[in-house]
Amino acid sequence: MYKILGIPLFLLIITFIIKREKPSVHTIVIKDTIIQKENDSIFNRLMDVVTHQRCMNCHPNDNIPKQGEEARQHILNISRGSNDKGFEATKCATCHQKENNSYSGVPGAPHWALAPLSMGWQNLSRRQIMERMLDPKLNGGKDHKALVKHMTEDPLVLWAWNPGVNINGEMREVPPLSEEEFKSVVLAWFENGAVIPPNQ
Ligand code: HEC
Ligand code: HEC
């Protein structure tokens, strides 16, 4: 009698255990998806700023700074020169001062220069841009901490939220996130391990 009951009882217990296990496995999967979704959204908000013209105009993949919302070639054929600060006669600092000039429409911030070619982002995918940015061989030897500091404190980065007027007296567009939002997504993404989501 016990022997006959034994097998169904055994199966019943197994089924019970499997049923009990299921919800917890399921929760873990959902949690991972939520974390990944959150990371994707943080990454994309960060990149919405990085790929904005205010940043991209100084991070071209050639030697010419770009201007305006449609990335026009810089007036007067200005080029990076040997040190990214322009040629002798056309140094960036000759025209670009420490502050925006609201009369002439020349934008300005301390140490105005073109980002080195290894930090060129134009025409790259979000993943490619971020891979470049994270690579100490290409980013000027910056670790994660230094990148966070650069993106939350450097005057050229912060200039994007105070870009002044162009030569026609029109306000330049600011990035789609506020300065404070950008700083918090930068911190959050790096704290989360700086994971580039797949399919970017
Ligand atoms: C006026 C030109 C200029 C603007 C505008 C500018 N940058 Fe840069 N950027 C530079 C220069 C020059 C460097 C290199 C200087 C250095 O490494 O300290 C640089 C370096 C960087 C780096 C270092 C790592 C790397 O691989 O690029 C990051 C990150 C960066 N910029 C982000 C931004 C973001 C984000 C914006 C817009 C919110 C921006 N920059 C706007 C000129 C600019
Ligand atoms: C002869 C003066 C002059 C020199 C030299 C010069 N610029 Fe400019 N730059 C301007 C003027 C004027 C504008 C504004 C154009 C406009 O708003 O239509 C401008 C705009 C820009 C912008 C556009 C910002 C934006 O997002 O729209 C960038 C980037 C820039 N310059 C980078 C540089 C760099 C880097 C150098 C040195 C390699 C340099 N410039 C040298 C006069 C100059």
- 199 in a structural domain: no
Find the helix or strand (DSSP H, E) in which 56 lies: helix 53-56
Determine the distance separating the centroid of ligand 2 and the alpha carbon of 29, expressed in angstroms: 50
- 67 in a structural domain: yes
- 185 in a structural domain: yes
- 52 in a structural domain: yes
Instruction: Fill in the amino acid letter for 170.
Output: E
The percent of residues above 70 in pLDDT, for the chain, comes to: 85
Per-residue model confidence (pLDDT) at position 199: 80
pLDDT band for position 43 (cuts 50, 70, 90) = very high
> Could you tell me if the CB of 160 is within 6 A of ligand 2?
no
State pTM to two decimals: 0.88
- Partners of residue 59 on adjacent β-strands: none
Tokens of 59: 């991070």
Q: Which ligand 2 atom is nearest residue 79's CA?
A: 38
Q: Which ligand 1 atom is nearest residue 140's CA?
A: 17
- 39 in a structural domain: no
Q: Which ligand 2 atom is nearest residue 68's CA?
A: 27
Average pLDDT over the chain, rounded to an integer: 90
Above 90 in pLDDT, residue 12?
no
> Could you tell me if the CB of 63 is within 6 A of ligand 2?
no
pLDDT band for position 129 (cuts 50, 70, 90) = very high
Above 60 in pLDDT, residue 21?
no
Per-residue model confidence (pLDDT) at position 31: 73
Above 80 in pLDDT, residue 147?
yes
- 138 in a structural domain: yes
Probe residue for ligand 2, chosen from 62, 63, 74, 82 as the CB with the greatest number of ligand atoms within 8 Å:
74
End-to-end CA distance of the chain: 63
- 2 in a structural domain: no
Tokens of 54: 């205010």
Domain of 95 in residue numbering reads as 48-191
> Could you tell me if the CB of 95 is within 6 A of ligand 2?
yes
Domain count, the chain: 1
- 35 in a structural domain: no
pLDDT band for position 142 (cuts 50, 70, 90) = very high
Above 90 in pLDDT, residue 96?
yes
Question: Using CA of residue 58, residue 64, residue 68, residue 70, what is the dihedral sign?
Answer: negative
